[in-house]
Amino acid sequence: MLNNDDKKVMTNHNIRLTASEMGFLWTQYENDSMAICVLKYFANKCEDEEILPIIKTALNFSEEHVQTISDIFTNEKIPVPVGFTDEDVHINAPKLFTDTFMLYYIQNMAMVGMSGAGIGIGVTTREDINKFFQEILIQSKELHDMARKTSLSKGTYVRPPYITASDKVQFVSKQRFLFDFLGKSKRPLTAIEITHLYINIQTNALGKAMMIGFAQVCKGEDVKQFFMEGKNLATKHMKKFSTLLEDSDLPAPMSWDSHVLDSTVTPFSDKLMMYHTTGMIATGIGNYGMAAGTCERLDLSAIYTRLSAEIALFAEDGANIVIKHGWLEEPPQADDRQALVNQPK
């Protein structure tokens, strides 16, 4: 939360927001207004006394962010986004996910928050806006720490695989280190390659579980079909990544399917569930891109590139649905100079 000095800076400046600042604030508002709805529902359903305080802390952070951004936009005479409201959540709906899943959800969203805030810090110039994203980064780290430590204490934390450390430094001497994937025997995965496979299995497992739950409770038939397609796509990608780990005699993380309960009463609007899913798709494409850029075995880069194209086509289907239903709120855009020129004088 910004202190009084930071708020004073906001109201006593003449520096306009840059496109980057406006865009990141707008996106943060949309994400946090959605998170408020999800976390209110989780807080009303969570029974675990260790997990509930973490949910309430996350909810408090999101409410602070929304208020701060509303103040900034109001001072700048920029329309405050609609985002998501109490109309998009039904906190008294039956429980859809287990408490353990709620804890993992917050841990994963905190990772996304740290990544987004880190970029926000790098592209913002004005002091108050930069401090705001610094605070989000600190809060996201705090949430991740809380969720990680609680998960470890409960024995539910899924660790990445272990490998044996080499007893000496070695250098690559042959190009087969990059191209050794055509024969039956492939070179072992590097630690970084293992890490990205693990992360992408975990994020697909989260997405798959959420889309199973969303498909159970959504109202629109087109929305339901979209979630089922997403579930099948996540399953396919998890199997591919798990096989790559298993081929190197490494364990693959578990699925979260069993943490989806049998309720068919919707806690969220179809609009919110679609936005949440498209957000996860965007995160997935970013993760695949980073993995493709850092993997040194070229067959892995090719796999990530191909699977990214599949996700992009899936994302297009989602965009068509939200546009059809009038759910897609336009982000800040550059001036349409041609339209201004053509306006009647």
Q: Which domains does the chain have, with CATH numbers?
A: 15-154 (1.20.1260.10), 178-324 (1.20.1260.10)
At residue 185, the pLDDT reads 59
At residue 299, the pLDDT reads 85
Tell me how far apart the alpha carbons of residues 314 and 239 are, in angstroms, rounded to a whole number. Answer: 18
At residue 298, the pLDDT reads 83
At residue 256, the pLDDT reads 85
At residue 11, the pLDDT reads 47
Q: Are 275 and 84 in contact (CB under 8 A)?
A: yes
At residue 160, the pLDDT reads 82
Pick out the chain residues at pLDDT < 50. 8-12
Tell me how far apart the alpha carbons of residues 258 and 16 are, in angstroms, rounded to a whole number. Answer: 49
- Alpha-helix runs per DSSP H in 170-258: 176-179, 191-217, 221-247
At residue 187, the pLDDT reads 76
Q: How many CB atoms lie within 10 A of CB 293?
A: 10
